[in-house]
Amino acid sequence: MAEIIIGTGAAVPAYVLDNDGVAELVETDDAWIRERTGIRQRHIAKEETTASLAEEAACRAVVDAGIAPNRIDLIVVATATANQRMPCVACEVQEKIGAQQAACFDLNAACTGFVLAYQTAAAYLKAGIYRTALVIGSDCMSQVIDWQDRSTCILFGDGAGAAVLQRQPGLSYLPVAGADGRKGEVLSCQALYEEQPFYKKSGDSGFLRMDGQAVFKFAVRKVPEAILEVLESNGLSTGDIDWFVIHQANRRIIESVARHLGISMERFLVNLQEYGNTSSASIPILLDEGKHSGRLKKGQRLVIAGFGAGLTWGASIVQIA
């Protein structure tokens, strides 16, 4: 048994903050941000929330898949920025789209979240437990960004992407995933426990803190390793892959991955110039854009690969119906 993507959807907030807008908040400029990251603008949630964006992306994916919502057996949402601790975002999505038969849960692996949610759903399908799953990545990173810290606030944007997976007979690909919990401090964000006076807060509690160079070095080493590992474990080579869809954090990271793998940048889908780093949403937004722009075609074989806080990483081979 294998899984195949039969529908995709995406949603981003209406408000667009370009690099000049960020330069009004911190000491930076458009040329520096473009040169160091490739980012030109990002969407920031003013009215929208992690749940509302997830619901919008999910509705579009279900319509694109052409299935009735009550045929969905499982909803998994990858997010690190849920509006509330409970109920989970997946349950909010279920209620909104009317997928009453679905089991629902969220998982958090920061920017690797969508890849791990995809792998989790695919495992249920391959095991024959479920037939149809809705996998969503949704994050509003703007909520946890220190808008006075120019080393992080230039990077992130808000958004959501979704994919409907369906079980089908055929070859099943093995996934790759890993983590190095010893490197947790490299990229972290403390939860706020304001209501609990006994909980001692540090000065920067609630904001994302990142050692950008350490994350950069980790990504350029680990992402090509994970891609080669997933190819090798499935008896494939880079030549067997039509598109590489990797987490959108920094254009220089993607260029470095392409160099390490010895393949052209033209085989990578890239949209970070429009959205910045949307964390768990970046890969499904790319899948949706690729599908609807006609670049991703039926039967093509893709690699999706993510990396992020934890530190975590993961790669899978996926197919579009």
**Angle subtended at Cα 244 by Cα 11 and Cα 247, rounded to the nearest 5 degrees:** 50
Give me 221's structure tokens: 């080493």
Least gap, CB of 239 to ligand ACO (angstroms): 28
Residue 277 designated active-site: yes
Q: Which residues contact ligand ACO (rule: CB under 6 A)?
A: 28, 32, 36-37, 110-111, 150-151, 154, 187, 210, 212-213, 215-216, 219, 249-250, 277, 279, 308-309
Residue number, 133 or 281, with CB nearest to ligand ACO: 281
Asked if residues 131 and 116 have their Cβ atoms less than 8 Å apart, the reply is: no
Residue number, 100 or 213, with CB nearest to ligand ACO: 213
**Widest CA span in the chain:** 57
The Cα–Cα gap between 116 and 177 comes to 8
Query: Packing angle between helix 113-126 and helix 282-293, nearest 10 degrees?
Result: 70
Question: In terms of DSSP bridges, do strands 301-308 and 243-246 run parallel, antiparallel, or are they unpaired?
Answer: parallel
Least gap, CB of 2 to ligand ACO (angstroms): 29
The Cα–Cα gap between 137 and 117 comes to 8
The residue of the chain with the least Cβ separation from ligand ACO equals 308
Least gap, CB of 318 to ligand ACO (angstroms): 20
Residue number, 1 or 270, with CB nearest to ligand ACO: 270
Residue number, 162 or 311, with CB nearest to ligand ACO: 311
H-run or E-run covering 189:
strand 187-189
Task: Find tokens 């992690």 and name the residue.
Answer: 50
Least gap, CB of 143 to ligand ACO (angstroms): 13
Q: Which of 88, 104, 111, 189 is catalytic?
A: 111
Give me 260's structure tokens: 């390490």
Residue 111 designated active-site: yes
Residue 260 designated active-site: no
What residues are annotated to the active site? 111, 247, 277
